Amino acid sequence: MSQTLSIIRPDDWHIHFRDGDVLAEVAPATARHFGRAIVMPNLSPPVSKVEMALAYRQRIMAHTQGYNFEPLMTLYLTDDTSVADVDAAAASGFIKAFKLYPANATTNSAHGVTDLDALAPVFERMAELGLLLLVHGEVTHDEVDIFDREKAFIDQHMQALTQRYTQLKIVFEHITTADAAQFVLAASDNVGATITPQHLMYNRNHLLVGGVRPHNFCLPILKRQSHQQALQEVVKSGHQRFFLGTDSAPHLRHLKENSCGCAGCYSAPAAIELYAHIFDEIGAIDKLQGFASQHGAAFYGLPENDSRITLVREAWKMPASIALGEHSIVPFFAEQTLNWKVQD
């Protein structure tokens, strides 16, 4: 059994850095081991214009100096996004995609899209200029069960999006169901998907059995074990249109542990170790480099990173919390043992 694993430096194709004091903690956590990251734009107010993305990028880079790291920016799609916004994004050189949040789907998504058809000129221009569409694929209707919202989005919107805009590259973000995996497998080469560590490692029992565990609460919510197993099978296959996107989403402890706790798992402190742990457990450690370091770059049309990291088979425990001033953040997999560690 191999005790070390050297892989091309990975990328995180879906990350939440937040801002302010939280940004100062979480941006270096990703930059330590990752070459690039697609940065989500759901700040308050949302990052919906190029000048806002530039300012945010500069704030990120101020906290990642000394690392071999590049933040790749996204713009938040709203009902008011225009073709001119797409042109400006493409001209910037550092904006790679637009993020589609259905209104009120998750944290800071109140400004999300309410009418996809009205954005047809925007989507068509994105396809022409090579900008990607990143989709949070859940409906938000109260009458749809929270565990069924991803499947409902596929039926109501995703099928139509991919059929109407055949030249547009679309990433189905943080997929959680067998339905989503099968949808991507059956789609064209212009449709890919990211998968988080929590959806590979956990199912809804880890959220609900023995009491509600707020630090395992994320959106899309953890699903039943059969869906977790379907995601594990698709990464074991080594399929090139599935790639790493942590959806790491930090929230201060007191905002998670209350009567209306925030959604999100903070996996950045040990993201690649978490993936290595679960890939090893399911007998797919040989597929980790493709998933973490190659498939996403190829889908985005970018070169692979030109450096490597080495993981060592070594048992270590995730800390119980991470101090942040007078507050703290509880990381995903807190106080549990991981079997791989990056060799610094």
φ and ψ at 191, to 5 degrees?
A: -120, 120
With b meaning 16 or more CB within 10 Å and e meaning fewer, what string describes 273-292?
bbbbbbbbeeebbebbbbbb
Please tell me whether 33 is known to bind a ligand.
no
Please tell me whether 16 is known to bind a ligand.
yes
Largest Cα–Cα separation, the chain: 55
C-alpha distances out from residue 224 to 67, 98, 147, Å: 38, 30, 9
Please tell me whether 18 is known to bind a ligand.
yes
The number of C-alpha atoms within 13 Å of 145 and in the hemisphere containing its C-beta is 4
Give the ranges where the chain is alpha helix by DSSP (H).
20-31, 50-62, 83-92, 120-129, 149-153, 159-164, 178-186, 197-201, 205-208, 225-236, 253-256, 271-281, 288-289, 295-300
Please tell me whether 239 is known to bind a ligand.
no
Please tell me whether 174 is known to bind a ligand.
yes
Tokens 């000129």 belong to: 121
* Under 8 Å between Cβ of 177 and 150: yes
Catalytic residues: 247
Please tell me whether 206 is known to bind a ligand.
no
* Under 8 Å between Cβ of 235 and 309: no
C-alpha torsion 199→201→203→208, nearest 10:
-110
Residue 100 parent element (H or E): strand 95-100
Please tell me whether 136 is known to bind a ligand.
yes
Please tell me whether 254 is known to bind a ligand.
no
**286 DSSP assignment:** G
Kindly calculate the radius of gyration of the chain based on its CA atoms and give it in whole angstroms. Answer: 19
* Under 8 Å between Cβ of 282 and 232: yes
Q: How big is the CA angle at 338 (ends 335 and 340), to the nearest 5 degrees?
A: 150
Question: How many residues would you count in the chain?
Answer: 344
Q: Are strands 95-100 and 70-76 parallel, antiparallel or unpaired?
A: parallel
Please tell me whether 224 is known to bind a ligand.
no
Please tell me whether 247 is known to bind a ligand.
yes
Strand partners, 95: 73
Instruction: Show binding-site residues.
Output: 14, 16-18, 42, 99, 136, 174, 219, 247, 251, 263
Instruction: Show binding-site residues for substrate.
Output: 16-18, 42, 136, 219, 251, 263
Instruction: Show binding-site residues for Zn(2+).
Output: 14, 16, 99, 136, 174, 247
